[in-house]
Amino acid sequence: MSCRITKIEIPENIYDWGIVQINNLSDTYFRFHFVDGKPELDTSFFADKEENPDEKHKNLFPESDLYKGIQKALNDLEYRIVGELPDGTKINYEDCGQDQELKDAAFKMVEDAKKALKDFKLSLPDGTKLKVEGFVRK
């Protein structure tokens, strides 16, 4: 099964859960965490459209095509740094004024992106908001 990530929330803390949504399942939330720097899909998900609260939490089996498709989409993620200056100007890591290699930076490992975020933040004004986001290179 081919899965396209439509929304992803990278956890602030590497030990917390992230949330991912796929394809047209806008009311279905899958969670993942990082193991050895790579996202690993959980074996349960939350189907918000279910009317019965007892049926909202569902199991996802690792051998299923759905699980494999979502895990592949997570494996294909790269990470980048985005943010906002105190005056509301949107910025990203490419705005850092470094060499071309850094301007094209996309990180394969979330830890590398988080380390770069700390360094990048040192060169920006106080009050700048930065975060790591996942994306799939086209």
Q: What is the pLDDT of residue 103?
A: 47
Q: What is the mean pLDDT of residues 57-83?
A: 92
Q: What is the pLDDT of residue 45?
A: 92
Tell me the pTM: 0.79
- Report which residue type is found at 1: M
Residue-range domain boundaries for the chain: 5-75, 78-135
For residues 37 and 33, the model is more confident at 33
pLDDT digits (tens, 9 = 90+) for 49-64: 888 888 888 999 999 9
- The closest of 37, 38, 39 to 18, measured between CA atoms, is 39
Q: What is the mean pLDDT of residues 31-58?
A: 90
Indicate the pLDDT class of residue 86, thresholds 50, 70 and 90. Answer: very high
The rounded distance, in Å, linking the Cα atoms of 86 and 68 is 41
For residues 1 and 70, the model is more confident at 70
Encoded tokens for 17: 């859960």
Q: What is the pLDDT of residue 43?
A: 95
The rounded distance, in Å, linking the Cα atoms of 107 and 81 is 9
